Structure 1
Amino acid sequence: MPLLPPLPADRWDDKARFAFAGMLPRERQNPEGAGTALATLARHPDLTKAFLGFSVHLLYRSTLPARLRELAILRVAYRRDCTYELTHHTELGREVGLSADEIASAQRGEAADDFEQKLLAAVDELDETSRLSDRTWAALGERLDERQQMDLVFTIGGYTMMAMAFNTFGIELEQER
């Protein structure tokens, strides 16, 4: 049983639905359409509205190439043992062209491409030390500009925070509801 289950349908009010404006189409601003994670966040509409603005940037507006974003998120999800993130971002990884082998390798912190290996190592370093060394920052700067590097740091941090929340609340996969 989740610590915080999705907000029941009879408790969805205009404020809960409004929290998803700009993130979800109107027809999905309900307990079934939002999915378990967002329906759980609906318990705190003000926090949800603020947090989703940041999340939308990370997922849709980031300067980080989608492939690199998904590799980083997959590594975070694995390190944080977050089944919800891992499942959803495995699918998103496939959508951006990652193979099953690349997805599995990213979870292990391994990549055939030298730069992608540096990126995965950066996830580990940031997770372990809460900062990137000058050497790692410079290595990332070989292919990423300053904004992309910033988006990477915030992606790793944002998805680490989400994994903590999802694991604590007991967010279940949609088919498990």
Structure 2
Amino acid sequence: MRLPPLPADEWDDEVRAALAGMLPAGRQNPAGAGNALATLVRHPDLAKAFLGFNVHLLFRSTLPPRLRELAILRVAARRACTYESGHHEHLAAKAGLTGDEIAAARRGEAADDFERTLLAAVDELDTTSVLRDDSWAALGKQLDDRQRMDLIFTVGAYGLLAMAFNTFGVQLENER
């Protein structure tokens, strides 16, 4: 672990305020926040700014939760981010994905044509940082402009998080 979670004795009002938009007061502590957030709050201003954006992606996005989680699982697999993968397995299951669908998404596979299109778009974005016109149009068959925008930002944000988690060495809570 290159950058460990902030120790409990260093949590102060500034740290808790950084988490206020994402977590209820009872979880604004090292155990309640989990390793990722407890690491991010080593820089409270950055954590607060990023988590405001992340709250949108997780809770207010126009992208349906199933599609959001497929995209995040694929990003996590492409970036070899164990932490992101582990946390989003649970969220993917809550969004209705089966264990087989979760495993397939990690490989970039899906039984549904549109979900294959979405996973291919994630790969395209991660590889080239742009969608071709035909990919944009294919996504537009089921997603409106706002949903496609939320998809682009979800892929980008979770790519960034994977980069940070991998670099900091953030571990799943059961690996502490």
Shared fold (TM-score, shorter chain, > 0.5): yes
Structure 1 match to 2:69: 70
Asked if 1:113 corresponds to 2:112, the answer is yes
What is the CA–CA distance in structure 1 between the aligned matches of 2:174 and 2:144, rounded to whole Å?
Answer: 40
Structure 1 match to 2:37: 38
Instruction: Please tell me whether the aligned partners of residues 70 and 102 of structure 2 are also in contact (alpha carbons under 8 angstroms).
Output: yes
Which SS does the other structure have where 2:96 is aligned? coil
Offset at residue 70 of structure 1 (A): 0.4
Structure 2 match to 1:100: 99
Structure 2 match to 1:141: 140
Which SS does the other structure have where 1:43 is aligned? coil
Structure 2 match to 1:19: 18
TM-score by length of 2: 0.99
Number of residue pairs matched?
176
Offset at residue 13 of structure 1 (A): 1.0
2:69 corresponds to which letter in structure 1?
E
Which SS does the other structure have where 1:94 is aligned? helix
Q: Which runs of 5+ in 1 are unaligned?
A: none
Offset at residue 175 of structure 1 (A): 1.2
Q: Which runs of 5+ in 2 are unaligned?
A: none
1:103 corresponds to which letter in structure 2?
I
Asked if 1:47 corresponds to 2:68, the answer is no
Deviations, residues 91-127 of structure 1 (Å, cap 9, x unaligned): 1111111011111110000111000000000000000
Offset at residue 157 of structure 1 (A): 0.4
1:164 corresponds to which letter in structure 2?
M
Deviations, residues 28-48 of structure 1 (Å, cap 9, x unaligned): 111111100000011000000
Structure 1 match to 2:27: 28
1:20 corresponds to which letter in structure 2?
L
Runs of 4+ in 1 over 4 A off after TM superposition: none
Which SS does the other structure have where 1:19 is aligned? helix
Structure 1 match to 2:158: 159
Which SS does the other structure have where 1:131 is aligned? coil
Alpha carbon RMSD of aligned pairs, Å? 0.5
Which SS does the other structure have where 1:175 is aligned? helix
What is the CA–CA distance in structure 2 between the aligned matches of 1:50 and 1:80, rounded to whole Å?
Answer: 23
2:34 corresponds to which letter in structure 1?
G
What is the CA–CA distance in structure 2 between the aligned matches of 1:6 and 1:105, rounded to whole Å?
Answer: 32
